Structure 1
Amino acid sequence: MALFARFPRGTERPNVIRKGITGLLASIAMLLSTSTPGAAAHDESHGPTHPGPLYATVTDPSGKLSLQTFGRPDGKDMVFRISGSVYANVEGNSLDPAIRHGQKLFNIEGYNIRRLYRVPDTNQLYQLSREIVFYTDPADPQRVLREWTNPIDGKTYPVVPINNDTVNFGPFPITPSYAGPPLQQLHDETLWTSDIGVRTNFAATLGERFGLTGGVYAAQEMFDFSVDQREVAARTKPGVPYGAMKTKISWARTSPWAPFMCLPESDVRGQLTYHARSWSLGSYGQIEPWLRAEVEANHPLYQAAPAEPGPSENSWTSFYNKQLGKGTTTWAGWCAANGRA
């Protein structure tokens, strides 16, 4: 009826009105099918691994939000772009002047590409992902480092990026009562956190100590997630949202020296502190051209998330698998062979 108010009273404009109505309906249909976050799933056929039907059963807002950080409910790939810096954390500044406490050693630039996967004919979901993060020049985030000079032993080593294939989570059951972490309202954003203490005995699981104290990897991972209230409202409606939820993440990690640095934690006291921010992207194609060019030239596997579940890697098991040949050489042997005076 509002369309009629556009014309003077008593004026008949039936053809124009019909065209206006038709155009309006077409525009609404297009918006619903392509851009509205809370819209129902598209008409495309959904295979048995599609997460949408399971996601649609969830009623708890925190459950809906947390699932949308695991992956797109429409089953397509999404990306969390990662950008930050890495600092030396040295007790008592004991390595100065070679490495100062608080010294910025690297920038980091990369991403995690992920998707949700349903185990066919079940209520079980996986998050499937790959992640590639490059260590870059501390003065130029877009210059990927190929080598790094260890200031303790004076040798130059090849820089190995974080390249984890795969990083999977699950399976976890999805029911209507599925709930995420507690939510907090700060100004115009909804926030939640995930703090994870990590402890892995690589000496026992891999037979490789990596120079770690007792052969044990000990780290702390800390995440803050934030979503704008308007995005929350749009993406917690009934149905299956299309696209990636607009999410921002603050990430910090304190962990031992990276394996390629060839600094044995047991002898060289100190750690690394990673501080980065991350934000969601709808697809691999939305990553900046310079970063895509690096991936496509040297790490093409990381253009897509895995198609099905498989074993997971972290920075250390990835190094073990790819650099140490799954134990055909040792970490100490790799450092001895790759360190250039």
Structure 2
Amino acid sequence: MTGLLALVLVLGAGAPGASADAASDDPTHPGPVYKTVTDKSAKLSLQTFGRPDGKDMVFRISGSVYANIEGNSLDPALRHGQKLFNIEGYNIRRLYRAPGTNQLYQLSREIVFYTDPADPQRIAREWRNPVDGKTYPVVPINNDAVNFGPFPISSSYVGPPLQRLHDETVWTSDIPVRTNFGATLGERFGLVGGVYVAQEMFDFSVDDREVAARTKPGVPSGAMKTKISWARTSPWAPFMCLAETETRGQLTYHARSWSLNSYADIEPWLRAEVEKNHPLYKAAPSAPGASENSWTSFRNKQLRQGAVTWANWCAANGRG
């Protein structure tokens, strides 16, 4: 995820509760604004942005990353379709109301680890680049923050088109991404023309019982039980030190995501890694601010906000 976006939903949600219906004294509480929404699709989609009761929720992410190489041109060093990593992590998010307005934000952080292709729970600390023969440190997706909004919310607010498949309601979000990092950051990352291009594709699904429970009047408590399928085609990750201009190919991410009620519901092995090395990602941001994606995060944290070039980072960190 490039800040991807981001994207993650909730398991183990509670049914709508009367206690959650009461307006909070907190002027940032999303409930009073959420209550004005009448469109079914809008209610469902907003509950993927965050819990209407204002608490943190999690979208757990689990999947794989493959080499996508036109003409299999790097074989045998790097084969088309070769599984390079598993990915395991989450996005932690909340709905935030701009005080005194009908404007809502989605505030989130996301941490996703590249893990051993044969063992999803073994975090990859380094990766041998088969093209140049050097070994590089693996940098997880660690975007602080991934924020969207503000969204003006009223009774006329509507969501995406819905489709009924068997006993589930589904909707999609397909996002073509194009960002000129050469122009905006002054860093080309070895990309063609310094331009990052990717395709992000999401499918959301919620079963009939959950749809009925979550679209009643009032403010639901807990997180909506949601499943997501996510796919992304994008350039080589920055830590791989493969220049798109020189090494033909890209990455394909294919993952599943599901909602959890809170950070406490994440598996112990994953929480242990976060608490040891990335404790910031235990909670969503408390207020709107600038967003990151995988590339701007790498620049901010690894390249010290541009004090080091990507080429120099690769030269300094590659072991022969």
TM-score (norm 1): 0.89
Instruction: Please name the residue that 1:218 is paired with.
Output: 197
* Distance in structure 2 (CA, Å) of the matches to 1:312 and 1:64: 25
Task: Describe the SS at the equivalent of 1:113.
Answer: strand
User: Equivalences for 1:184-333 in 2 at 5 Å?
Assistant: 184-333=163-312
Task: Describe the SS at the equivalent of 1:81.
Answer: strand
Deviation at 1:36, TM superposition (A): 2.8
Distance 1:242 1:203, change over 3 A: same
User: Are 2:64 and 2:253, in contact at CA under 8 Å, matched by a contact in 1?
Assistant: yes
Task: Give the paired residue count.
Answer: 308
Task: Describe the SS at the equivalent of 1:58.
Answer: coil
* Distance in structure 2 (CA, Å) of the matches to 1:35 and 1:245: 8
What RMSD over aligned residues (CA atoms) do the two structures have, in Å?
1.1
* Distance in structure 1 (CA, Å) of the matches to 2:36 and 2:304: 44
Distance 1:299 1:115, change over 3 A: same
TM-score (norm 2): 0.95
Instruction: Please name the residue that 2:101 is paired with.
Output: 122
Task: Describe the SS at the equivalent of 1:41.
Answer: helix
Task: Describe the SS at the equivalent of 2:65.
Answer: strand
User: Are 1:155 and 1:339, in contact at CA under 8 Å, matched by a contact in 2?
Assistant: yes
User: Are 1:38 and 1:235, in contact at CA under 8 Å, matched by a contact in 2?
Assistant: no
Q: Relative contact order (alpha carbons < 8 A, sep ≥ 6): 1 or 2 greater?
A: 2
Task: From the two aligned structures, give the one with the greater helix fraction.
Answer: 1
* Distance in structure 2 (CA, Å) of the matches to 1:35 and 1:133: 26
Q: Residue by residue, what CA displacement relative to the aligned partner does 1:53-93 show, whole Å, maximum 9, x if unpaired?
A: 00000000000000000000000000000000000000000
Runs of 4+ more than 6 Å apart: none
* Distance in structure 2 (CA, Å) of the matches to 1:191 and 1:236: 15
Q: Residue by residue, what CA displacement relative to the aligned partner does 1:173-204 show, whole Å, maximum 9, x if unpaired?
A: 00111111000000000000000000000000
Task: Describe the SS at the equivalent of 2:221.
Answer: coil
* Distance in structure 2 (CA, Å) of the matches to 1:177 and 1:221: 28
**Are 2:169 and 1:169 equivalent residues in the alignment?**
no
User: Are 1:146 and 1:158, in contact at CA under 8 Å, matched by a contact in 2?
Assistant: yes
User: Are 1:38 and 1:237, in contact at CA under 8 Å, matched by a contact in 2?
Assistant: no
**Are 2:56 and 1:77 equivalent residues in the alignment?**
yes
User: Are 2:54 and 2:95, in contact at CA under 8 Å, matched by a contact in 1?
Assistant: yes
* Distance in structure 2 (CA, Å) of the matches to 1:103 and 1:274: 12
* Distance in structure 2 (CA, Å) of the matches to 1:320 and 1:302: 19
Deviation at 1:37, TM superposition (A): 2.6
Could you tell me the percent identity over the aligned residues?
83
User: Are 2:21 and 2:220, in contact at CA under 8 Å, matched by a contact in 1?
Assistant: no
**Candidates 302, 317, 320, aligned match of 1:338:** 317
Instruction: Please name the residue that 1:46 is paired with.
Output: 25
Larger of the two Rg values belongs to structure: 1
Instruction: Please name the residue that 2:71 is paired with.
Output: 92
Q: What amino acid does structure 2 have at the position aligned with 1:170? A: G
Instruction: Please name the residue that 2:10 is paired with.
Output: none
Deviation at 1:41, TM superposition (A): 1.4
Structure 1: tracts of 5 or more residues without a match: 1-33
Instruction: Please name the residue that 1:103 is paired with.
Output: 82
User: Equivalences for 1:48-67 in 2 at 5 Å?
Assistant: 48-67=27-46
Task: Describe the SS at the equivalent of 1:63.
Answer: helix
Deviation at 1:206, TM superposition (A): 0.3
Task: Describe the SS at the equivalent of 1:335.
Answer: helix
* Distance in structure 2 (CA, Å) of the matches to 1:43 and 1:263: 54
